[in-house]
Amino acid sequence: MAPCDESARYPDRAPRLLLLGGTSEARALSERLARETGVEAIVSLAGRTRAPLACALPTRIGGFGGVEGLRRYLVESRIDRVIDATHPFAERISANAREACALLSLPLAVLAREPWRPESGDRWIEVADMAGAVAALGRSPRRVFLTVGRLSVPAFRAAPQHHYLIRSIEPPPPEELPPSCELILARGPFSRDDEMRLMREKTIDALVTKNSGGPLTYAKIEAARALSLETIVVLPPSASSETSLQSLQAALDFACAKRPA
């Protein structure tokens, strides 16, 4: 793609984008923005992981302070468009971005991720939230592979009869762990064969996952299917109505688009 040459049409300044990140898609987009366009862009991370992967664009880290903090940041940093490339389960920041952009009449687009769909051979139980996932595990003790993210682990203390194999990038605080558990610290992607090996070795009989969509963490779903394991899938929050970008190319086009007069 040719670099955007907004500066020729808008001599005052090039487009200035805020990219709300924390996902592999945001990282891929930031690499392409840096390599292929002249857009000035800033990536924003929540700061959940202590050692985030390196990013190709200038990065700010930490919350903005709600809608008002984000609105102020957008004005002070002279941002003229926002791409929300956060995780599908990161509901609060997406709602804040929607509200702050609406207040300032700024264009906002969401980099969409297709949720996973059950296929033949899958033994899915779909639930609305973590409490639903806990209930779906039932009363009898089971060996559960928990891949729901560090912040969702405490919900499973409500079902201490199960043994949990917990995988997360960083460890949850010890007081938030269920009593019987083993912790694996790892960052994807993982292969189907490795996932199958792990599930067999740990004699797992149920997988619990968010329906995060996308290819990066799908291998566990394939592995559970191959092993005919019950898979408890927490449904994503319902999609909102703002512009949805279906590909990195669409996101680049949005980032480079001519500013309204």
By CB under 6 A, residue 58 contacts ligand NAP: no
Quick one: 89 or 254, whose CB is closer to ligand NAP? 89
Contacts to ligand NAP from residues 95-114, by CB under 6 A:
96
- Cβ–Cβ < 8 Å for 204, 145: yes
By CB under 6 A, residue 192 contacts ligand NAP: no
Amino acid at the residue 61: I
User: Please, where are the H alpha helices in the chain?
Assistant: 6-9, 24-36, 66-76, 91-104, 130-136, 192-201, 219-226, 248-256
Number of residues that bind ligand NAP (CB under 6 A): 24
Q: Match 């779903």 to its residue by tokens.
A: 221
H or E segment to which residue 40 belongs: strand 40-45
Q: Whose CB is nearest to ligand NAP?
A: 63
Quick one: 3 or 69, whose CB is closer to ligand NAP? 69
By CB under 6 A, residue 245 contacts ligand NAP: no
- Cβ–Cβ < 8 Å for 101, 108: yes
Helix, strand, coil percent values for the chain (each to nearest 5)? 35, 20, 45
Quick one: 15 or 149, whose CB is closer to ligand NAP? 149
126 - beta bridge partners?
233
- Cβ–Cβ < 8 Å for 205, 229: yes
Instruction: Work out which of 91, 122, 205, 242 binds ligand NAP, going by CB under 6 A.
Output: 91
Q: Which part of the chain contacts ligand NAP (CB under 6 A), choosing from 1-9, 27-35, 63-71, 117-125?
A: 63-71
By CB under 6 A, residue 257 contacts ligand NAP: no
Quick one: 37 or 44, whose CB is closer to ligand NAP? 44
Q: What is the Cα–Cα distance from 56 to 159, expressed in whole angstroms?
A: 42
By CB under 6 A, residue 23 contacts ligand NAP: yes
Quick one: 91 or 194, whose CB is closer to ligand NAP? 91
Q: Which part of the chain contacts ligand NAP (CB under 6 A), choosing from 21-29, 99-107, 171-179, 183-191?
A: 21-29
Quick one: 3 or 65, whose CB is closer to ligand NAP? 65
Least spacing, CB of residue 161 vs ligand NAP, in Å: 25
Instruction: Work out which of 89, 116, 124, 190 binds ligand NAP, going by CB under 6 A.
Output: 89
Instruction: Work out the number of other CB atoms within 10 angstroms of the CB of residue 170.
Output: 11
Token reading at 162:
């199960």
Token reading at 53:
């992967």
Instruction: Work out which of 64, 124, 164, 190 binds ligand NAP, going by CB under 6 A.
Output: 64
Q: Is the peptide bond before 115 cis (omega within 30 degrees of 0)?
A: no
Q: Which residues, at least 6 apart from 31, have a Cβ–Cβ distance to it below 8 Å?
A: 56
Q: Which residues bind ligand NAP (CB under 6 A)?
A: 20-23, 44-46, 48, 63-66, 69-70, 86-87, 89-93, 96, 149, 210
